[in-house]
Amino acid sequence: MIKRLREKNIIVEMEVSVTDIQENDSNVRVILQHKDGRQEELNSEWVIACDGGNSFVREKLGISFTGKELTQHFVLADAEVQSDLIKDEGYVFISDDGMFLFIRFNEKYSRIIAEVSHDPLLNKAKNLTYEQVKQLAENLCPFPLKISEPVWTSGFWIHENMIANYRHKRIFFAGDAAHLHSPAGGQGMNTGIQDAYNLSWKLAYVLHGKCSEFLLDTYQIERQQVGRNVLRNTTLLTNVMTTHNFIVKHVRDFVISHLGKMNFVQKKIANTFSELATSYSKNLLVKDCMPWRSGPKVGTFNADIFSRLQTFHNGTSFVLLSIRLNMRIS
């Protein structure tokens, strides 16, 4: 990605931190601290704060990040793992002792994630020993795993937080700086990228004088609801998958083993986790003038239309479709 940006004459600067930020009616003043101690003043029309769950920009502006911390505690380890499991698939194993995830993320390393909320020795662990990793795999995974010395281990609690408004005058928030949630479902990175994508083309249109600043108001309307849905879904999934409630466990296992095999259920889950089910139907830019007609709803994703668009459009800018309807009145 960095190489591609360089080809576009966009340079990504590493190890540069923001030490101060001030905004006024016409621009935003940012003070940057470089690794060698040099300070730099940057004046920009707009700023997008993508500085994570511990956002300096959000803290500096005094913007609340309301939410809660879930009670579950997880540990993870990255290591070389040999097993008979299929290499290009991820696995989740659920038992009375906790949930265990095994995911191979490249040719060499795999990631192990385990819930240890009820383990008296690990329920507050911030890292793991090699022996502890092996013992967890032995206790929670029904298949034998040959694990090498981990290159990295960590413990983590899940925070569920969200910013009240994605925009503060000339500063926008995206990714973890705007919403923080459980990694269940693997939606965090995609949600943040979609935030930035949604905002970037709108900013480009405003900067090039093609639209008024009114267009930027749609960022909050469209993306905040998506953030709320992701927080709700990931929290629910985390609680259901890690529950120790006897009744809930049996309902969960029944749904997974029976309903989970149905095509329409699998499609629903896939569309939700991939966020293809995202709808902008309530956006200010969207109006359904013929709600009585069948077919794709305005503001929703349609795979057939999208595949047809790809034949002549690269998908990196706003497109207005004009659809011709043949109507016969008798």
Model confidence over 180-222: pLDDT tens digits? 998 887 788 889 999 999 999 999 999 999 989 999 999 999 9
DSSP for residue 121: T
Task: State the pLDDT at residue 330.
Answer: 44
**pTM score, two decimals?**
0.83
| Per-residue pLDDT tens digits for 117-162 | 989 899 899 999 999 999 999 999 999 999 999 999 999 888 899 9
52 with 195, same domain: the answer is yes
165 with 62, same domain: the answer is yes
Task: State the pLDDT at residue 310.
Answer: 63
Taking the C-alpha atoms of residue 198 and residue 73, their distance in angstroms, rounded to an integer, is 33
Lowest pLDDT segment from 17-26, 80-89, 161-170: 80-89
What is the SS3 assignment for 200? helix
What distance lies between CA 154 and its chain's CA centroid?
A: 20
CATH at residue 115: 3.30.9.10
On the 0-12 / 13-18 / 19+ scale of CB atoms within 10 A, 167 is middle
Question: Last residue of a domain, which of 243, 265, 293?
Answer: 243
Q: What is the end-to-end Cα distance of the chain in Å, rounded?
A: 57
62 with 26, same domain: the answer is yes
Lowest pLDDT segment from 8-12, 80-84, 265-269, 297-301: 297-301
Q: What percent of the chain has pLDDT over 90?
A: 51
Question: Last residue of a domain, which of 220, 243, 266?
Answer: 243
Task: Indicate the pairing of strand 110-115 with strand 65-79.
Answer: antiparallel
Taking the C-alpha atoms of residue 276 and residue 173, their distance in angstroms, rounded to an integer, is 22
